[in-house]
Amino acid sequence: MKKLFIATLLLLSGTFLMAQNSNCPFKYGANEEDSLKCLEQITNFNMFYKSKSYADAYEAWRYLIANCPCCWDGIYTNAQNMFNGLIKAENDSLKREHLIDTLIYSYEIRNLYFPEKFSKGYCLGFKAYNTLLYRSKSMNLDQIKEVEGWFEQSVEMEKENTQPAIWDKYFQLSESITKATKDTSVVIEAYGRATDYLDVSINNSLVKYEKQVAVIDSLYDLYNNGKIDTNYLVELCKKPAADTTRQMKLVENYRRTLAKIENAVTPYASCDVLEELYSVKLANSKDDISAVNKIVMTMAKGECLTSPVFKDALEILHRANPTRTSAYHMGNLSLRSFVTDKDNAEIDAAIRYFEEAVSLSETNEQKADANYMLAVACQTKGSYAEARNAAYAALKAKPNMGKAYILIGDLYANSVGRCSGDDIPMACQWAAADKYAKAVAVDPSCADRANAQRARLRFPSKEDLFKRGLSSGSSYHVGCWIQENTTVR
């Protein structure tokens, strides 16, 4: 019997997470008999849970929580689904309330037994989530505000690690409080936290995604060079492929959550309201960079980019803690100032800021956006070759960025005067037509804009072509600064 127990224990130690803390002096029980009973109930719980026999799984779960709460993190991970099923099926109101209490209790204790798996912020967030999910109709305003406080604490503890489900419920609750109290600051503060942290969540997941894509690419290089066979390639790709799928799902969930929040906040967060709220806050918190960052992010998401409050907050933020985002916004401010005032110092500043944004970018999406705006700034200055280089850098990071090809097409189309000494007047517009066609090919969503730009092109007449011995459809090299092969039209 003892050998059987030891063998079983060794097997399970590879599957279940060991909790090493003062709350868990014993993993499975204080003695052999207790441990065998605990292992038996783990098996029962697993079997009944997987078959969705939640009532039977609950009996095993109760034993495990009472007698060996640190035996396996799965009794907490799987609790939400089990209790959701039990609560939905329970018709007795008293029993239903008891189940809700027990579900909430499971979030109150899991950090005690598995602190590395379940953080305090995570547990507090889901305590608030389930309280709101199952008891919102019976709560008064003071109780609702208490739950909102739990959400706030959770978000500030978890920051960018806050789960999409928590964001969703937290913002719903903030909106409800604003409607009940007419205090828009509640929903705007929630929105500020969301804009501050959700962009970081998205960026972190994209960074992890791209690292795993790089791993997969390196494995395919080994395969193409004959270093590994097909079976080994498939085996080695399993984990990074699963990781990329998981990270992209997180990105999609975070983006969906942020878009939902942005849509919901629109009635409350006009630029006038944000400016009034944040002008006072900025005056009192210029040294609190976290608070300043929230102001910048919230006003940027609200498209309040011409507000003096936004500009002041952004300059404070960029001086104190320059980031890709702050550099990007500074570049946009300088570009807008140049368009308005025609101050050459502003366009030079815009180029510097966008170059800084490129250098601070972490993901391909960030690099593409920053390089594209660098191309726009160079185009605005009249530095066409530099603008094309930046546009191609954007396309290297994001090959389906149709607007980058449109920008290059515009550069070529506007080069008629610059290239007037070329053999064929307006031949540069043939090259422009190629870029507009390429834009549509890689990104059909930009077809209307690309086709409109192409319709404005003017090609040499048939007489001009005849004089030079050219025919439509033949190849032609465009000189000047463009230096591209194209097709006669």
- CA distance from start to end of the chain: 89
User: 382 with 415: CB under 8 angstroms?
Assistant: no
The span from the CA of 254 to the CA of 162, in Å, is 10
pLDDT reported for residue 450 = 96
pLDDT reported for residue 11 = 39
Query: If you average pLDDT over residues 97-111, what whole number do you get?
Result: 96
DSSP notation for 210-267: HHHHHHHHHHHHHHHTTSS-HHHHHHHHHHHHHHHHHHHHHHHHHHHHHHHHHHHHTT
Which is higher by pLDDT, 84 or 285?
Answer: 84
pLDDT reported for residue 425 = 61
Least confident of 38-52, 379-393, 408-422: 408-422
Residue matched to tokens 């910048």:
296
pLDDT reported for residue 461 = 77
pLDDT tens for 296-322 read 988 998 889 999 999 999 999 999 999
pLDDT tens for 438-456 read 999 999 999 999 999 999 9
Q: pTM of the predicted model, to two decimals?
A: 0.74
- Domain range annotation of the chain: 1-118, 157-268, 415-489
Question: Is residue 2 scored above 50 in pLDDT?
Answer: no
CA angle, 322 then 324 then 329, to 5°? 85
The span from the CA of 175 to the CA of 135, in Å, is 17
User: 298 with 262: CB under 8 angstroms?
Assistant: no
User: 199 with 251: CB under 8 angstroms?
Assistant: no
pLDDT tens for 377-396 read 999 999 999 999 999 999 99
Query: If you average pLDDT over residues 137-151, what whole number do you get?
Result: 95
pLDDT tens for 168-225 read 999 999 999 999 999 998 999 999 899 889 989 999 999 999 999 999 999 999 999 9
